Structures are given as C-alpha cells and as structure tokens.
Amino acid sequence: MKTKEIREGSVSIKVPEVRMPEEGEVFYNPAMAFDRSISVCFCELAGLEKALDALSATGIRALRYKKEAGIGVTANDCNPKAVKLIRDNMKRNKIKVGVSEKDANILMRQEHFDFVDLDPFGSPIGFVDSACASIGRKGFLAFTATDKAPLSGTYPKVSERRYGIRSMKTDYYNELGLRILLSAVMRIFARYERRFTPLLSYSRLHYFRIYGKVEKGVKRINRQLRDWGVVSHCFKCGWRDLALKKKCPLCGEATQFCRVYLGGIQDADFLDKLVGRLQSRMFVQEEKLVNKIREEISFPLYYDLHYLYKKTGRKPDKMETTMEKLREKGFRASRTHFCPTAVKTNASFKDIIELI
Ligand SMILES: C[S@@+](CC[C@H](N)C(=O)[O-])C[C@H]1O[C@@H](n2cnc3c(N)ncnc32)[C@H](O)[C@@H]1O
Ligand SMILES: [Zn+2]
C-alpha cells in the first residue's frame, strides 16, 4: 500500500495515497477532520478515562484524542493492514495508545470503556448493542452514520429493516432521518435499561453524527419515552403534523406516518461549553456549526421554505422576512443547520401556508 504523510490537528500520520482505496485497504477521509476536531473537544469536556476508537482505520481519531485531549484510548480495527498503519503512526508521533486487532463487537463484549466512538462505513447500528455492553452503567457514546439515503427516505424499506422505522422523503428529511437513527439507538439502550441522551446531534455532508451520554435507570427511560410521538405527512399537499392522522385534514389524501423520538437532540449547557473549547483551539468552521445549532429553536422538524414556495407557486420572500412575519404572529422561528432554506418554528403547516 502506497502511503503519503499528512498533518491533521497536532499529529502527522501516514495515510493511503489514493482517496478511494480498494477493498481491504486502509481508509482516510480528510473531510472528516471537521468532525474529529469536534470529537477532540468532546473528549476533553467529558472527562474520560478509557476511550475506544472502535473502527480506527489509520488511528487518526485515537492519536488525536490522546495527543490533543490527553485521554487514555485504544485504537481498534479488524483489518491487519490498518493495525500495522496504526502502530506506525503511533511511533511516528511518539504517542502511546492501546492497539487492538479484533472484531469491534468482540472487543466491546470483552472490555469496558467509558467512551465508545463508532465511525463505521455506513450504519453504526450493528455495533450499538456491544457498545452498550462495553459502556456499562455510565459513560458516553458517539456515532457516525453515512447511510443517509435509507434514513432520509430514499430507501424506506432499508430503513425499516435496519432501524425498525420506515423513513419518509419529506421536505424535512434531514432531521427526520437523524431522529430515526437516534430513535433506533435509544431503543437498543432502553432494552438494557440504559438511557441514551443526546448532547450534540448534527447532519453534515454525507453523514449524521450524534454524541450522547449513557446512564442506567428505568425511570429516566420512562421519562424519555414520553417524548416519542407520531409524524404524519401528506405527500399530496405537503401537510404534516406531530400527531397520528391517517387522513390529511387539508386535502383528504391518506397520509404516511412514523413514530420517532421528538424530544431534544441537543444539550444547551453542553453546547455552550463545547463552543468555548472550539474557540480556544481555533477550530473556526466547527465553532460556526455548533453556534448555528445553538441558535436553533428546539421545536422538532422544520419547514423548507424553498419547497413550500415552489409548491404554492408564491414568489419567495427572504428567509429573514418570513421569520419576522412568524414572530409578529407570536410564533418562535429560527434557521436550522439541517437545511439552508428552512425555518424551524412552532407554527403549524396551515399557519405557514397562510403566511406564505
Ligand atoms: C470508515 S472507516 C474508519 C475511519 C476512521 N474512524 C477515521 O476517522 O478516519 C471504518 C473502519 O472500520 C473497520 N471495520 C469494519 N468492520 C469492523 C469490525 N467489525 N470490527 C473492527 N473494525 C471494523 C474497517 O476496517 C475500517 O478501517
Ligand atoms: Zn394533503
């Protein structure tokens, strides 16, 4: 395998020369440096003792977590070529991290970690049961999902098989997709009497990423279960509501619906602290994203104005103007990182359409 040297954060590592390595080769995507920088700050804030980079590839996450956040960490990958590269990269940076060459699911059943980071190809869902076993009573989990197409409604049956919830291609597909993923993860934890509480959740490029804390306790889970609800959507006129309605009240068409977690997906206190960390490390783009998320109102789902103006045939207003009008009517309104042309608001579909 031909390699080249790159610098990311405060480590310099060898990565495969080709961007899209063939099967069996080691994977490195420079675009994910963004997320790794956020993860470094997360590690620092969480006050961790023993972290696991379960699907490590070049070892970049583990090495940065150790060097930049100063935490104890193990880098694991089942691909021997990846493990060789991890060892080389460790020596090159004179950093010591644990190195393991196991199936991640086996390692997580054997060893306890207080933070597990799952950064797989595609879906993380097949690793979540073992992550739960490894974390035990209390800890943290972060995961990436790059299978946005099934989650966002392009392949609803795949979503139903993989996550137990049929996805829908709505104008708010990015947030609904993330909530389907999160709901499936919460369900797995609940099965073992653990509660998974999201601290930071976002959609970016081709992936979703969620960071959260894990705690034991049935009462806590029961409280969280109250935040589940039904999203009903009419694919004829675009109407939607956060309640089960089998027929669209506007046009009479049969709706489609799914049941997901509708509670908070960010933790405001945590985001405040995270922004401080990102600022002090001068992770400028990362800070921009987290700030955008901080300004979002916490009401679930959003309206893509682009889509609604097109659907109603009205001349589009500026985003700011529409948000101002909503506020004048007594609603809350904000932009959202999920979609540049969308607003988050507690106004109903009918309210928005009337306003448009
Ligand atoms: C997307 S890459 C990881 C990228 C890396 N986390 C980063 O930030 O650059 C996924 C890695 O998971 C490894 N992998 C896939 N299935 C695995 C399993 N069951 N156990 C351990 N490693 C696995 C692959 O060999 C690959 O290196
Ligand atoms: Zn309708």
Distances (CA, A) of 119 to 17, 135, 137, 253, 284: 21, 16, 22, 41, 23
The tokens for 291 are 């700030």
What was the pLDDT predicted at 24?
83
* Residue 51 host element (H or E): strand 50-53
Residues with CB under 5 A from ligand 2 (ion): 234, 236-237, 239, 248, 250-251, 253
At 174-233, the pLDDT tens digits run 999 999 999 999 999 999 999 999 999 999 999 999 999 999 999 999 999 999 999 999
Contact 92, 13 (CB under 8 A): yes
Angle, CA 318 vertex, CA 309 and CA 203 arms, to 5°:
75
What was the pLDDT predicted at 20?
74
Report the distance separating Cα 353 and Cα 356, nearest Å: 5
* Residue 151 host element (H or E): helix 148-151
- Which residue has the least CA distance to atom 8 on ligand 1? 61
Contact 65, 95 (CB under 8 A): no
Residues flanking ligand 1, CB < 6 Å: 27-28, 32, 36, 55-58, 60-61, 76-79, 82, 103-105, 119-121
The tokens for 300 are 């679930």
User: Closest by alpha carbon to 104, among 92, 121, 91?
Assistant: 121
At 226-242, the pLDDT tens digits run 999 999 999 999 999 99
pTM attached to this predicted model:
0.98
What was the pLDDT predicted at 23?
79
What was the pLDDT predicted at 211?
98
Walking along the chain (356 residues) 10 residues at a time, the average pLDDT comes out as: 94 90 88 98 96 98 98 98 98 97 98 98 98 97 98 98 98 98 98 98 97 97 98 97 97 98 98 98 98 97 96 91 96 98 97 93
User: Closest by alpha carbon to 188, among 124, 103, 232?
Assistant: 124
- Domains defined along the chain, listed by start: 3-228+262-295 (3.40.50.150), 303-355 (3.30.56.70)
